[in-house]
Structure 1
Amino acid sequence: MPGSSKVRRLLWRLCISLLVALLPLLLGGVIIYWQTQAGLRREAGHAASEALHLIDVMLANAAGSARATLAYAEGPCSAAELVLREQVATVPFVRSVNLVRNGRVFCTSLFGAFDEPVDAAAFVDGRLNLLPGNAVTPDFALIVYRLAEGRDGVLATVDGRYLSNVLQLVDQRSDLVIQVGPRWMDEAGEVHEGTPDAFPLAETRQASTRFPYQVVGGFPAGAQWRTMGADYWPLFAMLAVLGGLFGIGCYWLLGRAATPTREIERAMYAGEFVPFLQPLVEATGGRWIGAEVLMRWRHPRAGLVSPDIFIPLAEQSGLIVPMTRSLLQQLAAVLPKHSQLLGEGFHLGVNVSAVNLRSGSLFGDCLDFLGAFPVGSVTLMLELTERELIGSDAHTDELLGRLRELGVSLAIDDFGTGHSSLAYLRRFHVDALKIDKSFVATVDDDSRSRHILDSILDLCGRLDLQVIAEGIETSAQRDYLAARGVPCLQGYLFGRPMPLAEFVAELERRARAGA
C-alpha cells in the first residue's frame, strides 16, 4: 500500500539517520574507553614505580644506619647508645636502631640496654620483615631491615606511617599496597596476612631490585567510567553535537536523490511502482474481456509521476527488468484469488521493451506469473514498445519461440506511430496489433486518418491478426470501429486506468450486477 510504503521509507530514513548520528558517539566511546584503559594502566604503573623509588630511599637510609652502627655490636651497649640515638635523630625515616648479638637484641636507641630474642627466619631473604606493630607502638606498622655479620647484627626500623603516606600521596586515584613475604600493608597502614586480592582494573606489580619486597597497584571496578565522565565529558559533548549534525545531514540526503536513476532505484525498493489496469471491452456487448497493465509511480512527495518521465530512464539504466518483474509479482499476488471473476482466457497485456527481451529473466518471470493462475484462466500478452529498436537475432527469436510455446501472445503496441512497426510485422510472428489512439481520435472529422485506419484494419485481416483499438473516448468512435469488425476496444469511454484493488472491486460489482 502507498501509505505503508511511505511509512517504511520514513522509518528507514530515521533508522539510518539515527545510526549515523550515534556512530561518532559509539566509535568515539570505544576509542576513549580504550584510551582510558591504557591511561589507567600507565597511571598505575607510574604510581607503583614512584612508590617503589621512595620506599627504596627509606630502606636505603635504614641500611645506611645499620652499616654505620654494625661495628658497635662487638662492644658494650654503653659505648653504642649515643651513636644509636644519633642515627635515629639525623637519618630520615629511621625510627629505631637496635644491636643484636648471639640472636638477641641487647642494645636499643630507645631504651639502651635491652634483652629480647630475634627470629631471623621471619625475615624475607634474611633482610626484611613487615610487622603490624611492636611493644612500643602496637597500633602502627613498621618495616625492619636486618644486617647480620657472624654472630653480630643490626635491626633498623622504618615507621609504617611513612610507608602509608607514600602509598597515599604518589597517586590519589589509584590504590597501592606493599608486600613483604607473607604480609602486605594497605594505604591505611594496616598489615594483612597472605596475598592481596587482585585489583579489578589495570593491576601492576613491581619488585624492588635492591630489597625483597614489591609494590602492587591498580584501580577499583568502575574506575574507567568515572575517569571517562570526569576527564572526557567535553569530548563526548562535541561528539554528540557532531553526531546530531551528521544525522540531520544524512536524513536530508536520504530524502533526495543524487540522480534520477538513483531515485528510481530507491523507489523500486520502496515499493512505489504499482500496477494500474485499464479494461479491454468486447466491442459488441461491452463485456470486460481483459486489461492492459500499466506501471504507475506513487511518489511520496510528487504523487503520481507520468510514465513518460520514468520509463525511458528505467530502460536506459536496465531497471525496467526488475520493475516489470515486480509488476507481474504484484498482479500474481492478488488476481489469482479472484480468477472466478475474470472468466476464461482473460486478457492481460504487459508492455515490454528491447531491454526486457535482452534480459535472461523474462521467460522465467512469465512462467512464474502464469503458474500462479488456474490453467486457462488468463492469457498473457507482451506488448512490444518502440522506444528502443528491437533487433531480430538468435537470442530474441529463441526467447519469443519459447514464450509462444508457453502460451504467451505477442502484440505491437501503438501501431502506426513508430518507425519500426512494419519491420516488426516482417521480423516477428506477432498475434495482435494495438492501433494508436492518434488514428482513433480523428475518425470523426479526418477522412485521411479514416483511410489509414481502414488500411490498417484491412492489413490485419489479411495477416489474420487480432486488433485492439486504443483511446476510445466517444460513442461515435466505438460504433465506427465496431462496424468495421474491431473486436476489442480500450479507452476512457469504458474506464480509466485504476489501481489493482479498485479494478478487482469493479469486477466484483459487475459480477453482482450481471447476476
Structure 2
Amino acid sequence: MAPSRLAGRSLLEFLITLLIGLAPVACGLLVLALQVERKQEETAKVSAVEAVYAIDRVIDTLHGASGSVLGLAGRTCEEVLPALRQEAFKQPNVRSLVLVRENRGYCSSLLGNVDRQIDPGEYLNQRLRLDLRNVVTPDVPVLHYRIQEYPFGVIALNDARSLQAELLGFKNSIVLALQFGSDYLWATGSGIESQIPNHAEDSQRLVSEKYGYTVHAGYPHGHTWRMIRQASASTAPSLLLVGIITAAVAYWGLFRRRRTPAPPTV
C-alpha cells in the first residue's frame, strides 16, 4: 500500500477512534449540565415555597396582635395606652401598634397620642404596606399590617429586619426578594424592582395565598455556569477514563483485528 494512502487511512482511523472515545465524555457532560439546571430550578421552587411559609408566620404574629387590640379602638388613647403597650411588648415581631378611627391613626404604643391620615389605597390588598423611609428609623424599612372594622382599625408595625433575617437563612447562593406592591425587600436591602440583586437564572415567582405579597427567587447571572464547571471538575477524570476505554475497545474491534494476520493453515 502506498505511504500516502496508509497515512490517510491511519488518520481516518484515529479520527473515528477519537470521536467514539469523546462520545461518552460529551454525553456525560451534557447529562451533568441538565442535572445541575434541573436541581437549581427545583431548589428555587422549594426556596420560594419555604420563604412564603416563613414570612407568613411573621405576618401571622402581626395579625394576632392586631386582632387582640381591635376592641380597644374607639376608646381614648390615655385609657388604652397601657394595654396597647403591653400587647406590643408581648410580640417580638411587633414594633408598635396603632389604633385607627375613621382612617386616622390616633394612638400609638410607641408614641402615645398621634394624628396620622391612613390611606387604604396605599396598602397591598388594603392590608400590607412596606414603608421604606419611615420617620422614626429612616434607614430601616417597616412593614405595616392593617386590619379594619370600619370605622375602627389597628395597624401593626414590624421592623423589616426580622423579614430580612428570615431571607438570610436560605443558602445555595439563591436570591430571594419580597414584593409589596411596587416596593421590594431582600436579605441585604430594600428599594424598587430595578435595585434587586440579579436573580435572572431559574427565576421563580410565588404569591402568598394568605396575604397577597409575592416572593421572587432565582440565581445571579453566571451561577449556573459556575456550578456546572465545579461539577465537571469532579467528574471529568471518570468520564475521560470511560472515554479512553471506549476508544481502545472500539479501535481494537474495528481496526486492529482486521490487521491481525490469519494463522497459517497446514
Report the TM-score when normalising by structure 2: 0.90
Q: Where do 5+ consecutive residues of structure 1 fail to align?
A: 264-300, 303-308, 310-515
> Within 2, Cα distance between the matches of 1:146 and 1:194?
27
**Counterpart in the other structure of 1:496:** none
Q: Kindly indicate whether residue 223 of structure 2 is the aligned counterpart of residue 223 of structure 1.
A: yes
Does the CA contact (< 8 Å) of 1:88 and 1:109 recur in 2?
yes
* Aligned counterpart, 2:153: 153
Structure 2 matches for 1:296-445, cutoff 5 A?
none
Return the offset for 1:171: 2.8
**2:105 alignment partner in structure 1:** 105
In structure 1, give the amino acid aligned to 2:225: W
Distance 2:185 2:52 in 1: 14
> Structure 1 residues 181 and 98 mapped into 2: Cα distance closer, same or farther (>3 Å)?
same
Alignment partner, residue 189 of structure 1: 189
Provide the residue aligned with 1:48 in structure 2.
48
Q: For residues 160 and 120 of structure 1, what CA distance do their matches in structure 2 show? A: 20
Q: 1:61, CA displacement in angstroms?
A: 0.5
User: Is 1:95 aligned to residue 95 of structure 2?
Assistant: yes
In structure 1, how many angstroms separate the alpha carbons of the residues matched to 2:166 and 2:25?
Answer: 39
2:87 and 2:4 map into 1 onto residues whose CA distance is 91
Deviations 1:67-106 (A, max 9, x none): 0111111111122222222222221312111111122111
Output the CA distance in 2 between the equivalents of 1:93 and 1:151. 26
Contact 2:184 2:196 in 1 (8 A): yes
Q: Is the 8 Å Cα contact of residues 182 and 194 (structure 1) preserved in structure 2?
A: no
> Which residue number corresponds to residue 124 of structure 2?
124
The answer to whether the 8 A contact 2:198-2:219 is kept is: no
Deviation string 1:377-433 (CA, Å, 9 cap, x unpaired) is xxxxxxxxxxxxxxxxxxxxxxxxxxxxxxxxxxxxxxxxxxxxxxxxxxxxxxxxx
Q: Which residue of 1 is the match for residue 205 of structure 2?
A: 205
Query: What is aligned with 1:27?
Result: 27
Q: Find the aligned partners of 1:49 and 1:3 in 2 and give their Cα distance.
A: 69
Match of 1:173 in 2: 173
The CA RMSD measured in Å over matched residues stands at: 2.3
2:4 corresponds to = 4
Residue range with higher mean Cα deviation, 138-147 or 91-100? 91-100
* CA apart distance, 1:198: 8.1
One-letter code aligned to 2:139: D
Alpha-carbon spacing, 1:220–1:136, altered in 2? closer, same or farther (3 Å): same
- Partners in 1 of 2:237 and 2:96 — Cα distance? 56
Partners in 2 of 1:46 and 1:193 — Cα distance? 22
CA contact under 8 A between 1:183 and 1:195: conserved in structure 2?
no
State the AA in 1 paired with 2:102: N
Q: CA 1:202 to 1:139, structure 2 compared with 1: closer, same or farther past 3 Å?
A: same
Give 5+ residue unaligned stretches, structure 2.
none
Q: 1:133 to 1:104 in 2, by over 3 A?
A: same
Q: Classify the secondary structure of the residue corresponding to 1:255.
A: helix
Could you say what secondary structure the match of 2:179 adopts? strand
**Change over 3 Å in CA distance of 1:242–1:204 after alignment to 2:** same
Deviation at 1:208, TM superposition (A): 0.6
- Which structure has the bigger radius of gyration? 1
Deviations 1:339-388 (A, max 9, x none): xxxxxxxxxxxxxxxxxxxxxxxxxxxxxxxxxxxxxxxxxxxxxxxxxx
* % identical aligned pairs: 29
Q: Distance in 2 between matches of 1:87 and 1:23?
A: 68
Distance change in 2, residues 1:172/1:31 (3 Å)? closer
Offset of 1:195 from its aligned partner? 9.9
Q: Distance in 2 between matches of 1:114 and 1:219?
A: 44
- Residue 149 of structure 2 aligns to which amino acid in structure 1? E
Q: 1:231 to 1:81 in 2, by over 3 A?
A: farther
Question: Conserved in 2, the CA contact under 8 Å of 1:44 and 1:217?
Answer: yes
- AA of the residue aligned to 1:118: I
Equivalenced residues, count: 262
* Partner Cα distance (2:87, 2:15) in 1: 76
Give, as a single letter, the amino acid of the residue that structure 1 aligns with 2:53.
H
Provide Cα deviations, 1:196-245, integer angstroms capped at 9, x if missing partner.
69843211111111002010101122222222233453323211221122
Q: Secondary structure at the match of 2:192?
A: strand
